[in-house]
Amino acid sequence: MTKAPVLILGARSDIGRAIAHRFAASGHPIQLAARGTESLAADKTDLELRYRVAVTLHDFDALAVETHAGFIDALPVLPGTVVCVVGLMGEQIDNEQDVTAAITVMRSNYEGPASILSIFANRFLARGHGTIVGVSSVAGERGRAKNYVYGSAKAGFTAFLSGLRNRLAKTGVHVVTVLPGFVATQMTAGMDLPAKLTAEPSEVAEAIEKAVLKRKDVIYVRPIWRLVMLVIRNIPERIFKRLNL
């Protein structure tokens, strides 16, 4: 039986590439979407040769929201699953001092992903089935001084995915929220991350594939994050604001 294509938005990222390999290994045709897809030509060839699946490349700009409907219309086939890994952390100090930088982070982590997934939700609903996967962040569960601009955008995206899932609960369209915690990627290179809390991109990809198959709602890639965030969410504000988190 032919498997439905999996579209990856943000396919140039380390996590995006790992997701492509995971689903291609399971026999899914892959649609890779990112800005400047010429840089993904080697990935396309590798996936095709390694897994014997069809791979297509699609230019996608998350911030050009006016192009999103046309982007979907131009796909060779509507995917069975769309995974959004689009995101931008930026530097907190820059976000504090430069409102343009802050807005770019906010739009990259919330507005752009919410825009494209809203359209996919309506297309999937019209078709009668489909899976939407949004990769958000534990940073959105409570604002912290060290990354509150990024965290606020992820909080919005997490709430969006929750509401979308609730809206589509009685349909054939399912929505998965992924909260990876720390991941060893280019974006976190140079950070001193605790090994027990830090996943590899391949772990994220594996968790996503399992969540899609089992129709999970919200997943933490490493279960320990569920406990960590439970503690952080419940620290009284008068104490929390004194902490260097």
Residue among 239, 241, 233 at smallest CA distance from 145: 241
Q: Which of 51, 110, 150, 220 is catalytic?
A: 150
Do residues 30 and 20 lie in contact, with contact meaning Cβ atoms separated by under 8 Å? Answer: yes
- Which residues, including other chains, have CB under 8 Å from residue 93's CB and lie 6 or more apart? none
Read off the amino acid at residue 16: G
Could you confirm whether 51 is annotated as catalytic? no
The 3-state DSSP class for residue 41 equals helix
Cα 83–Cα 88–Cα 91 angle in degrees, nearest 5 = 160
Q: Which residues, listed in sequence order, are joined to residue 55 by a DSSP beta bridge?
A: 30
**Rounded-to-integer distance, Cα 114 and Cα 122, Å:** 12
- The catalytic residues are 150
